[in-house]
Structure 1
Amino acid sequence: MVSKIMLDDRVIQLSNFEEEKENGLYTVSVTFDVTSEDYHDIATLLYNGTFDVKIPEKDIMFRGTIYNYSTSITNLYEKDQVGQYKLTLVEEKG
């Protein structure tokens, strides 16, 4: 099981990881928890939309764009909350 992903230089601990490769391009789906303390930094990062994606445990690196994104909770501004984020990234054609 892959335990972390890097988006740009931000390390994110994962609770779920799935990968596919179609026509030589990766699609990666991940699930991770975001605390109210980390919410602003993660939200700001995800607004970029495109990232240098690294999966060190699988020696995978690519430039990826958000294809799908969802969260289980929207009030992460409230203290001591934890939301589950689901994110699918698709490798850009190079």
Structure 2
Amino acid sequence: MVSKIMLDERVIQLNSYEEEKVNELYKVSVIFDVTSEEYHDIAMLLYKGTFDVKIPEKEIMFRGAIYNYSTSITNLYEKDQVGQYKLTLVEEKD
């Protein structure tokens, strides 16, 4: 199983990874945990919407945009909370 993904230069440890090709473009769905301590940094990263995506273990790299994302918890500002994020990225056409 793929254990990490990089969005720009941020390494994110994964709980789940799925990949498929749609019209010859990558579509990657991941699930990962976010702690209250890292929530702000992850939120600011995801607000960008488009990233250099790297999956080092599969030697995959592409420019991708958020297709869908959700979280299991809405208030990660409270100390010692952990939320689970579901994120789907799609490769952008050149």
TM-score, normalized by length of structure 1? 0.99
Q: CA deviation at 1:55?
A: 0.1
The equivalent residue for 1:69 is 69
How far apart, in 1, do the equivalents of 2:70 and 2:89 lie?
12
- SS at structure 2 position matched to 1:75: coil
The equivalent residue for 1:29 is 29
Letter in 1 for 2:60: I
Gaps spanning 5+ residues in structure 2: where?
none
How far apart, in 1, do the equivalents of 2:23 and 2:74 lie?
36
Q: CA deviation at 1:69?
A: 0.4
2:75 paired with 1:83: no
Q: How does 1:9-48 map to 2 (within 5 A)?
A: 9-48=9-48
* Residue correspondences, number: 94
Q: How much identity, in percent, do the aligned residues show? A: 85
How far apart, in 2, do the equivalents of 1:73 and 1:85 lie?
9
How far apart, in 2, do the equivalents of 1:54 and 1:83 lie?
23
Dislocated runs of 4+, deviation >6 Å: none
Letter in 1 for 2:61: M
- SS at structure 1 position matched to 2:46: helix
TM-score, normalized by length of structure 2? 0.99
